[in-house]
Amino acid sequence: MTIKSIQKVIKVGDSLATTIPAKDARAMNIKAGDNVVAAYTPMKNNDDKASDAEVLEAAKKMLSDYKQDFDNLAQR
């Protein structure tokens, strides 16, 4: 299972980080210390907040790409 979401990049010491939402971590049984594969794609708008249109476009693409996964989740 793959979960895609839009996350804000935060500064942790000298590094940058993103978080895994608790509900996604539970759904995928991810615990602290586990290794995960991460893929990064910067959003076009690099302001503090993504535009509504940009978020809507990303959400529509996710729904399209993972339609079967969302359908399976809805049936649980």
Domain ranges of the chain: 10-74
Residue 71 confidence (pLDDT): 85
**d(C-alpha 60, C-alpha 9), whole Å:** 22
Q: Do the Cβ atoms of 19 and 5 come closer than 8 Å?
A: no
**d(C-alpha 50, C-alpha 62), whole Å:** 16
Quick check: pTM over 0.85? no
Residue 4 confidence (pLDDT): 79
Residue type, 5: S
Residue 72 confidence (pLDDT): 85
What element of type H or E holds 16? strand 15-17
Which class for 49: exposed (0-12), middle (13-18), buried (19 or more C-beta within 10 A)? Answer: exposed
Dump pLDDT digits (tens) for 2-53.
Answer: 777 888 889 999 999 999 999 999 999 999 999 998 888 887 665 556 677 7
